[in-house]
Amino acid sequence: MTAITEIRIMTLHPEGKQGVNILQTKYDAIRDAILDTIPDDDLGVALSSIAKRIAPNLPADLFPKGKGITWYVMAVKLDLEARGVIERTPRSGPQHIRLPRSVS
């Protein structure tokens, strides 16, 4: 019998701090859900609302009873921010995230 090895990835942190080691399947599910949630406008979406918005669309086998979604949202959000895929909306409180604005 062959054991199935679950692939893990090390996330990045926008401030250069240590990332976290998480399952690739959970990372991918959260990443895709976050990116699907962010509108293509200047304001973006409130970080505090993302977990609640994406929870119904996540695979139940990866997040039974919604456990851990908020933690994964924060870990993946920081990684996406470090990679330049998303950015914090300037002068927004509470914190909002958006897709990067092109500089013209």
How would you class 37 by CB atoms within 10 Å of its CB: exposed for 0-12, middle for 13-18, buried for 19 or more?
middle
88 assigned to some structural domain:
yes
Full-model pTM: 0.89
Count of structural domains within the chain: 1
104 assigned to some structural domain:
no
Q: Which residue range is the domain that position 78 belongs to?
A: 8-98
Cβ–Cβ under 8 Å, residues 36 and 56:
no
pLDDT band at 78 (very low <50, low <70, confident <90, very high): very high
CATH number of the domain enclosing 38: 1.10.10
Q: Quote the percentage of the chain above a pLDDT of 90.
A: 79
